[in-house]
Amino acid sequence: MYNIKHMTILLVAVFFALGIGIAIGFTANSDKLLVKQQKIIIDQLEENYTHLKESSRMKERQLALLIESQKRDYEFLAQNFDMLLAGRLQGKKASVIEFGNSDKSGEIIDCLKKAGAQVQFITIVNEEVKGSDLDVFAEAFATGNIEKFQYLKEAGLIEFIGVYDRSVDFIVLIRNGEKNNPLSTVKKLVRLKPVVIVQSSNLPKLDVKDSDRLFYIDNIDTVMGKYRMIISLTNNF
């Protein structure tokens, strides 16, 4: 006869065996379910990858077509540049300010003249001009104070060509160097006349927001940049 102790041990052993069996069965079923889920995920990933490859190829083709179209547009613009811009600024008077020297500035001035603008006054600001001297320059330009212009010229801080005329319609400010930050000067000049800041595409961009009296072109070394300059001056100023 089994006593209570033996019966208790037997029942525990039976339930333990049942538990192991249930656990093994659950694990086996779980493994099958896991394998099935993994297959679904893998199939979905492969499908997505194939879709992405096709989408990428389509985008590459679209990009190639866009580049080719842009190339044709640039070629057309280059070939017909003078004709498209001729007379756009007829009768307008311009003043040009250069921050630093560059052989590219001649192209910009020539572009303005071809569009019909009269470039009456050209100022070249030395790269070393900073702080208070820049304030003096901006004030001289805004007020037409010839004595201050002469002071800056004699100090070797600026050079100028032509006759200063406050009746100009707009100011083109050419940024020629990375060290040149004309924004403090522009804030004062823009109260006087509309200003367009231009620079080559190889220079770091300035933090400038366009307005009805200020426009910024960061690729003036390209045909498109010059075209944008003339069109902006025509439409906005």
Q: What is the pLDDT of residue 35?
A: 53
What fold characterizes domain 88-236? Rossmann fold (3.40.50)
Nearest to 165 by CA among 148, 144, 138, 186: 144
Residue 163 scores a pLDDT above 70: yes
What letter does residue 100 receive in the DSSP assignment?
S
Query: DSSP readout, 139-197?
Result: HHHHHT-HHHHHHHHHTTSEEEEE---TT-SEEEEEE-STT---HHHHHHHHHHS-EEE
Q: Alpha-carbon distance 190 to 166, whole Å?
A: 13
Mean pLDDT over 93-122 rounds to 88
Q: What integer pLDDT is reported at residue 3 of this predicted model?
A: 46
- pTM exceeds 0.95, yes or no: no
| Cβ pair 197, 176 in contact under 8 A | no
Beta partners for residue 166, in sequence order: none
Nearest CA among 148, 93, 85, 130 for reference residue 111: 85
| SS3 state at 137 | helix
Confidence class for position 41, pLDDT limits 50, 70, 90:
low
pLDDT band at 42 (very low <50, low <70, confident <90, very high): low
pLDDT of 230 > 90? The answer is: yes
pLDDT, greater one: 212 or 201: 201
In this prediction, what percent of the chain has a pLDDT beyond 70?
Answer: 77
- Distance of alpha carbon 86 from alpha carbon 72, whole angstroms: 21
Q: Would you say residue 158 has pLDDT above 90?
A: no
Q: Output the pLDDT for position 46.
A: 65
| Cα Rg of the chain (Å, integer) | 37
